[in-house]
Copies of this chain bind each other. A is one copy, B any other.
Amino acid sequence: MKEKEFDLITFGRSSIDLYSQDIGADFIDIKGFDAFVGGSPLNIAVGATRLGAKVSLLTGIGNDKVGDFIINFLKEQNVNTDTIARIDGARSSAVVLGIEPPDRFPLVYYRDNAADSQVTIDHVIAAKIDQYKILEISATALNIEPSRSAVFYAVETAFDNNVEVFLDMDFRADQWKDLRSFGLMVRAILPKVKIAIGTEEEILAATLQHADQVHISHQQISAPEIKGDIEASIQKIIKSGPELLIVKRGSKGATVYYKDGNKRDVPGFPVEILNVLGAGDAFASGFIYGYLQGWDIYKACRLGNASGAWVVQKSGCANAMPYHDELIQFVDSWGGL
């Protein structure tokens, strides 16, 4: 890794996340919500910070109380917030979620006129990305302008300044007018991406040919079902640019795909699952932390898997991310990395 002042800057969504307090209840019967913060890059920023990295979040918040709420949480977590833009006239994002374990998490996004979509090239310039070792991008930020151009600019700037680009293939179906645009934009930045991370659904989404491959079985459920040939899709992604593609496979762990056709499975930690939300972001923060330590990919993925396993046992996303010592202890209790 190059010598840089900071470790990681994550770029993309941020939100207040309102989680049903009535676990298992149908959405219409929910009586109250716990107030958390969320958004994939925010979660990763918090997770990596808790593990010990020096992290900034590049996002936008509205000039509203929800924005204050988000900023306040991040400051408490020691995430650098100087790179967060206050956007007048836009609204801090919000997500309202039902919790119906094990696998139904109906959610409603409040992202019309979202402040985090209003991040511009000038905000990226002000963030001084060249000072970081890693730029982590959330693919949802590619959905509309001006954040889309800002992501392209950030990726180029990183690439030209020895900042490694990690892409989280974060796919939110309802954030794309044409679902196929998701893959087009992802594939357009992949040549400058070093490591891409995604679930099988996200990889299928990133190689989508027809809109009717996607089936959203529950209204606005977080993970849509997508048909397609997963092996072909993986090969298409890995050949589009990145050195590595890491496929997140939940309790089964992760699989690392290499450009030369090799792959390696990294086993997970088969804990009992309370809530899968945030597990992918926990994986990313654990993996990135390990990577920053100079660990090999296998070992870094193992820490990612451990971090994901930690989070699925808890409610919440950002709030549930493990701290360094407790995660190491957890890993040791399972026999180490």
Partner of A65, one of B64, B120, B152, B219: B219
A132 to chain B, nearest CB (A): 20
Counting CB contacts under 8 A, is A108 at the interface? yes
Mask: chain A, 91-124; 1 = CB below 8 Å from B; 0 = not: 1101010100000001110101100000011000
Secondary structure call for the A interface: mixed
On whether the beta carbons of A65 and B145 are closer than 8 Å, the reply is no
Chain B residue nearest to A62 (CB atoms) is: B108
Counting CB contacts under 8 A, is A325 at the interface? no
Counting CB contacts under 8 A, is A295 at the interface? no
Binding site for B on A (CB under 8 A): 16, 18, 21, 27-35, 62-66, 68-69, 72-73, 91-92, 94, 96, 98, 106-108, 110, 112-113, 120-121, 144-146, 149, 152-153, 156, 177-178, 180-181, 184-185, 187-189, 191, 219-220
Chain B residues lying within 8 Å of A152, measured Cβ to Cβ, are 181, 184-185, 188
On whether the beta carbons of B178 and A96 are closer than 8 Å, the reply is no
Given A32-B21, A152-B184, also A92-B63 (CB < 8 A): no
Chain B residues lying within 8 Å of A187, measured Cβ to Cβ, are 156
Sample of 15 A–B contacts (CB below 8 Å): A18-B33, A28-B69, A28-B72, A30-B69, A64-B220, A65-B106, A94-B94, A112-B113, A120-B178, A146-B181, A149-B180, A149-B181, A149-B185, A153-B180, A153-B184
